[in-house]
Amino acid sequence: MSLERLSRNRAFDGWLERYSHRSTSLDCDMVFAIYLPDQTLSAPCHSLYWLSGLTCTDENFTQKAGALRVAAELGLALVCPDTSPRGFDMPGEHDSYDFGSGAGFYVNATEQPWASHYRMYDYVNVELPALIEAQFPVTGKRSISGHSMGGHGALISALKNPGVYCSVSAFAPISNPSQCPWGEKALGGYLGNDRSTWAAYDACALIRSELTERLPLLVDQGDADNFLTEQLKPEALQAACDASGHALELRMQRGYDHSYFFISSFIEDHLRFHAKALNNA
């Protein structure tokens, strides 16, 4: 597959690169970022996929999270996809921040016109990893994390793909999307009005199902997050894990909000959590 390198910056004994490529899943050109520590010069590194939240691109995490120094120390490659397809200008695609452009919600849409392009679940879990592992010096071992909408994406990706990810974590994830306004809007728009189909992309519903793998979950949530009660619902995630015996470390962080100040404060813990799991897998 043809890749066009858009930029390359030296950072913390590694290289942060951005690439454009043609996505077959989404039928459009997509951009992703990858951080490759210098350890890849002598041996392939394991990968952590980061899924960003509403309105974000690949650049939010790489520029604001403060993750590169620790990733370099740990010899961990970071892969950061965009949050939606781009460039179609479909009716309503750019009308709001929480649906359409910048808000792909990491599902495979079944409703038109979205079904033709909004297939971020396949892009993140199938197409992009195959591309990364074919084109860059990384192993086949992956972990996944994300924030808000991306935290939802990380949880469902790990829960729906046993054996694919070595670990999973999230910052302020949309834990129960079928029961919150952001999720109801996105799942209804992309999947249709039959709410029974939404369970396939709801972490709480998946955890309550008969899973063949139960990776421990690490979740950080700020207690000063403006979206905590209405949109994020960590208590629903805790209840689902308690009911199913699914290991969950839910850390309520006092005074922290929904911003990248919150993420940058605890990202080192998450990187070390994933590096340990990847190295022990």
Task: Judge whether 95 counts as a catalytic residue.
Answer: no
Which of 52, 143, 148, 157 does the annotation list as catalytic? 148
Task: Judge whether 258 counts as a catalytic residue.
Answer: yes
Q: What is the 3-state secondary structure (H, E, C) of the chain?
A: CCEEEEEEEECCCEEEEEEEEEECCCCEEEEEEEEEEHHHHCCCEEEEEEECCCCCCCHHHHHHCCCHHHHHHHCEEEEEECCCCCCCCCCCCCCECCEECCECCCCECCCCCHHHCCEHHHHHHHHHHHHHHHHCCEEEEEEEEEECHHHHHHHHHHHHCCCCEEEEEEECCCCCHHHCHHHHHHHHHHHCCCHHHHHHHCHHHHHCCCCCCCCCEEEEEECCCCCHHHHHCHHHHHHHHHHHCCCEEEEEECCCCCCHHHHHHHHHHHHHHHHHHHHHC
Which of 58, 82, 220, 225 does the annotation list as catalytic? 225
CA 123-129-277 angle, to 5 degrees, is 120
Q: Which two tokens stand for residue 71?
A: 């990733």
Task: Judge whether 225 counts as a catalytic residue.
Answer: yes
Residue 49 Cα to chain centre, angstroms: 7
Which of 147, 152, 258, 270 does the annotation list as catalytic? 258
* Residues recognised as catalytic: 148, 225, 258
